[in-house]
Amino acid sequence: MIRKAGLETAVGGTRLKDCPANDPRCDAAIAKDGTALGSTYSDGAYCFSACPLAFAGGTSRVASQWALIGVHQITTVYNKVRVSYRIEYKIVNGKKKEISRKEVGRKSAGQSSSTKLGKKAAAALTGYLKEMGVSDDVIGMMMSAAPDSIHIVPPGDGLRTGLMTEMLAFNEWPGMPLCAPDAAAETVCRRRPAAQAAVAASAPVAAAAPVSKAPVQNAAVYGESLPKTQPMDFLLMFNGNCQEECSQWISADGDITPDTPARLKAFLETLDGRKLPIVLQSYGGDLNAAFAMGRMIRAAGLETSVGRTRLPNCPMQDPRCKASMAKSGPTEGEVFAGGAYCFSSCTFVLMGGTPRLVGNSVVGLNQPGKSELTEAEREKFLSYFLEMGVSSDAFDTMMITPPSGRGDLLQYQQMALGIINGAIPYGEEPGLHVCGPGAKESLRCPRNQKAVEIAPAAGLAN
């Protein structure tokens, strides 16, 4: 139906104006005629299970590196039914011949299920993917994950198989239309035709308009302000069997408030000097508190990264639910780079790490509440950047995006500015580089090697 209508598809979430964070598409924001004012976002958006098959219908199929596409096996359920008949026979030439049959009863005899693709199902699925211009390699991805799990399709595989036709850039968002061949320079659209880009490059005066309007576009996309969550808390996390091999990390999640540094200090004191990585996820918050946290982390010689922590048996909308937190000691869980974020003042905390690593997560810088800073305020930022080994160019990058924007930075930009000094390798997740104190030596826990190996800049393309 989508393909017949010639529509594009994208992976993204929608947040309506004035809706609370836990109900981003609240009924109150929808007008009587069915229209609503809002914005779309990529980070943390997902398209799982049967959704990718609908997604495949788009004439163009786009997603960002911060959205998740996941597939798994198809389960076929067979309902067994016991049917009773009344049958009448007659004898013809000494042989019994059925002359009538009437159903007189029907009872359920249970169910059975299978994840094996039958010939008809396999043919239907293969035919559909071929019709949509998608490689049947997707079927292999589906069959690699049990029905109660999910196989996240890496962006590279999504593009290779044709499940995705393109990846959104850091300043593009779901629902942004493709640029028309004759699109004006100020038009908000993605993938501007190369011919027009060349004209803009040869005409500096004409090119100035879209550049100056970029922050305004950013503000329109991300709303009036970044959303707020709960104040930042800290959890000691573990994953694996800590009698043999496990990973431990500190999950720091939530808004940075003036008292967050004191709570971080108290938390670190409970670790008795153990150097565990801090995995951050935050929309930001108090700037002075962020500076204090960054300096505290640097003094302690801790690793920082960006990631989202998920505890077992927690709903997707509350992945760190209190019901699954340990009453004392470490809490068991998992950590993921995909869909995680560190914006605004959170990025200053990230700078405190030694090392500071980022994978498939979003990091952003924006103006600190006003577009004009005093010389003393400017010097405060530059001094902090110098202290943390970050380029002074980060200040100009920060001032490009207004306080209402996110200022997403590509990984190579983060590396060039010195905000990060390493990349989390493909296939690994944040915080999984340091093992528990009782861990035996293994590939994952090399006791005689450095905890983290910084990825070279040339490896960022992967």
Stronger pLDDT, 228 or 385, i.e. the higher one: 385
User: Token pair for residue 323?
Assistant: 């019901």
* 331-332 vs 334-336, strand pairing mode: unpaired
As a whole number, mean pLDDT of residues 390-400 equals: 91
User: Token pair for residue 156?
Assistant: 């590279």
**pLDDT over 90 for what percent of the chain?**
44
User: Token pair for residue 55?
Assistant: 């997604």
**pLDDT over 70 for what percent of the chain?**
83
As a whole number, mean pLDDT of residues 377-381 equals: 93
Q: What is the pLDDT of residue 205?
A: 31
Please say if the pLDDT value at position 460 is more than 80.
no
Q: What is the pLDDT of residue 370?
A: 65
Order of all β-strands in the sheet with 61-63: 9-10, 61-63, 166-167
pLDDT band at 67 (very low <50, low <70, confident <90, very high): confident
Q: What is the pLDDT of residue 373?
A: 83
Closest CA to 396 of 373, 415, 363, 423: 373
Highest mean pLDDT among 27-41, 232-246, 419-433: 27-41
3-state secondary structure of 86: strand
Stronger pLDDT, 292 or 313, i.e. the higher one: 292
As a whole number, mean pLDDT of residues 410-417 equals: 86
Q: What is the pLDDT of residue 132?
A: 95
User: How is 325-340 classified by DSSP, letter by letter?
Assistant: S-SSS-EE-EEESTT-
Beta strands in 256-398 (DSSP E): 278-281, 304-306, 308-310, 331-332, 334-336, 341-342, 356-358, 362-364
Q: What is the pLDDT of residue 157?
A: 85
91-145 pLDDT, tens digit each: 888 888 988 999 888 888 888 777 788 888 889 999 999 999 999 999 999 999 8
The percent helix, strand, coil of the chain (3-state, each to 5) is 30, 25, 45
Torsion sign across C-alpha atoms 268, 274, 275, 280: negative
Closest CA to 368 of 389, 392, 348: 348
* Cα 300 to Cα 296: distance, rounded to the nearest angstrom: 6
Please say if the pLDDT value at position 299 is more than 90.
yes
Please say if the pLDDT value at position 427 is more than 80.
no
* Cα 101 to Cα 89: distance, rounded to the nearest angstrom: 9
Please say if the pLDDT value at position 198 is more than 60.
no
User: Token pair for residue 117?
Assistant: 């693709």
Q: What is the pLDDT of residue 206?
A: 30
Please report, in angstroms and rounded to a whole number, the separation of the first and last CA atoms in the chain: 35
Please say if the pLDDT value at position 150 is more than 50.
yes
As a whole number, mean pLDDT of residues 72-95 equals: 87
Backbone angles phi, psi at 2, to 5 degrees: -65, -45
